[in-house]
Structure 1
Amino acid sequence: MADVAYIGPGGSRRHQPLLRMLVGDVLRRRRIAQRRTLADVARAARVSVPYLSEVERGRKEASSEVLAAVCEALGLDLADFLTEVRLHLVTQVAPAHGSRQYPMAPNAHRAGDVMLLAA
């Protein structure tokens, strides 16, 4: 199974990491950071251990329902999870595209951002 997709207009090819690999990597890093086992998270998310393992290794594409359940089991907000996946994607793709910028929406915030309000 390939870890990258090759896409581009007019038959040109460029290296793009697969979304399922990025999703799995972020889930695994979060689980390990919490020092939790696959069995523990799978039980809390109500999915099988082999299935969660396949998702973490990027071999299976998880449905939105499964992602929501696993994120909940990890105590992770789905929006924060998707932001982390996006940031992971940017760090893997940006070097291949030189100084290409990846702007966020004007009011978008990342996990850990601080907003200061003045009266």
Structure 2
Amino acid sequence: MTDTPALGGSGKLFATVALVEALTWTGLLVGMYLKYVSGTTELGVWLFGRLHGLAFLAYVVVTVWVGARLRWPGWALLVALLAAVPPLLTWPVEIWFKRRGLLAPR
């Protein structure tokens, strides 16, 4: 088992928001399947589109704030921000950052 540093408050906030962003992406993808492939309902896109929009904005704001607070190098901030674009990438990036010690207080 890898020895990872303990998360501080900022790291926990980033980890939580990254997970929520990934989960809302998942809900939106399921909603898009239901709307465009099976044609059963538009409710998933209506609901998760709004939730994901909020989660995305929260992720960007929290990422910039945590990056500044924990003094991330420029590459880490860029990777974290770009991770919000493809579906479900924020969660693996959060796990990677945790293992590298980027979410631990300095």
Q: Same fold (TM over 0.5)?
A: no
Higher RCO (CA-CA < 8 Å; seq separation 6+):
2
Q: Decide which structure has the larger Cα Rg and report it.
A: 1
TM range (shorter): 0.3 to 0.5
| Structure with the bigger percentage of helix | 2
| Structure with the bigger percentage of strand | 1
TM-score, structure 2 normalization:
0.33
